[in-house]
Amino acid sequence: MAKSTIQRPRGTQDMLPSESHKWQTIENVCRDTAEQFGFKEIRTPTFEDTGLFVRSVGDTTDVVQKEMYTVSAKGDSEFTLKPEGTAGVIRAMLENGILNDGIPQKLFYITPCFRHEKPQKGRLREFHQFGCEMVGPSSPSADADIIALAKSVIDRLGIDNVTLHLNSIGCPKCREKYHQALKEYFFERKDELCSTCRERLDKNPMRILDCKSPICSEIAKDAPVILDFLCDECNEHFKKLQEILTVMGIDFIIDSKIVRGLDYYTKTVFEFISNSIGAQGTVLGGGRYDGLVEALGGQPTPALGFGSGIERLLLTMESSNCEFIEKNTCDLYIASMGEKAQNHAALLAMALREEGHFIEYDLIGRGLKAQMKYANKINAKFTLVLGDSELETKQAKLKQMDTGEELDISLDEKFCDNFSQELTNYMFKDILDDTEF
């Protein structure tokens, strides 16, 4: 077949049927683990009012300054395709009165996100994010619990060689003194900074620490460290978190370079970093954002959470040779010869599908040889050939495709039950062969 002359946009990818089982593996683990920790699913719009992200993510971040996809339609306000999931979830909580139902509120989501940045391995312009948000608790134990959830997801996916990096970026009171120290440090080398960081120097010098420019990164190596500027409350919170993680058996590294890329973070910030996927090594990141609810119009309420790119998790799993759920393949292909047999094939297929089986039969009018070739191509576990003789005698041959073994099966009212039993025997044959009675 000829290829389409229209190709997918740069920085996007197609999830093909041959890869869908890998995505389902990740989504199932994320969803099941979150629910075991008491989180419930929420789904928010793909686009939001642009002001939501300016107020939450921060107007000095790369996301707002360079990466947002902003659109408008005649007569409408300006909207932005969401670059991350947290702001929309907090907006939905406030708008729908979810916080009135008591705290903590614990929500998770799997959603598409959009950022206009240079596409590279593990970084796309359209990506999918799994995230968890907990609103209400202010204690270090809540930080430890959200980190434990993140670690459980990574562990259950089978990803190894991942290290938890932990830091505290303090509260507004801490950061006032820290910002002053950063301004004094970076001002001496202001002319060497990139144009974006020169603008950040007055508004939010911490953003310079997160700059991707090699020159800015080199200058930032010897910058003052936030941990030296923590107030007593933030310092105690961070110490207590470390104690709880140690008791829980969760290893971590204190990393003062972890600041996260969004302005709404406060106190605890963390990243799980893989050693197996190169420069884009962060597979999951999060922390506290105690000021975000208030910034979006709610009462002052502490909150925390994390996000992880599904594509980044998939890349890490593949590089770590993790196992995925098996592809769902056809249980039975019914080959037919003649119109009467084809009608009966449709009848059998409907009955077996009602029993929960994956059934295929000929819809194109192929010859028998071509049908069997197709059955082999789709990896059907069994095949059944129907013709005038089989319909007359109400007997057919059920063929096990991987061994070639055939057995007689009656085309009567017990056909569905008999096939289900044969399929069960097939699925558990290795276990049954190894069992001694």
The residues spanned by each domain of the chain are: 20-171+231-319, 332-425
The reported pLDDT for the residue numbered 61 is: 66
The conformational region for residue 300 under phi > 0 = left, psi -120 to 50 = alpha, else beta, is beta
Measured CA to CA, the distance from residue 317 to residue 276 in angstroms comes to 9
Q: How far is C-alpha 8 from the geometric centre of its chain's CA atoms?
A: 21
Measured CA to CA, the distance from residue 313 to residue 322 in angstroms comes to 11
Measured CA to CA, the distance from residue 337 to residue 344 in angstroms comes to 11
195-203 and 172-187 helices cross at what angle (nearest 10)? 140
What's the pTM value of the predicted model, to 2 decimals?
Answer: 0.88
Beta strands in 209-281 (DSSP E): 253-254, 266-274
| pLDDT profile of the chain (437 residues), mean per 10 | 80 91 96 98 94 77 76 82 94 95 95 90 90 97 98 95 94 88 89 87 83 86 91 96 98 88 82 77 93 92 96 92 92 96 95 96 95 96 95 94 93 92 83 46
The reported pLDDT for the residue numbered 263 is: 67
Tokens representing residue 262 in the block? 């969004």
Which residue, 413, 410, 405, 365, is CA-closest to 391? 410
- Contact criterion met (CB below 8 Å) for 291 and 90: no
Map tokens 């959470």 to a residue: 305
Instruction: List C-alpha distances in Å: 411 to 181, 251, 358, 395.
Output: 83, 60, 18, 6
Q: Which residues of 233-269 are buried (b: 16+ CB within 10 A; e: fewer)?
A: ebeebbeebbebbeeeebebeebbebbbbbbbbbbbb
Measured CA to CA, the distance from residue 270 to residue 238 in angstroms comes to 12
Measured CA to CA, the distance from residue 228 to residue 182 in angstroms comes to 12
Q: How far is C-alpha 307 from the geometric centre of its chain's CA atoms?
A: 8
The reported pLDDT for the residue numbered 432 is: 43
**Class (C level, CATH) for 332-425:** alpha beta
Cis amide leading into 224 (omega within 30): no
Q: Which residues of 371-384 are buried (b: 16+ CB within 10 A; e: fewer)?
A: bbebbeeeebbbbb
CA-angle at 360, arms to 355 and 366, nearest 5°: 155
Q: Which CATH number fits domain 20-171+231-319: 3.30.70.100, 2.60.40.10, 3.30.300.30, 3.30.930.10?
A: 3.30.930.10
Collect all residues with Cβ–Cβ distance below 8 Å to 97 and sequence separation of at least 6.
none
- Contact criterion met (CB below 8 Å) for 12 and 125: yes
The reported pLDDT for the residue numbered 277 is: 65
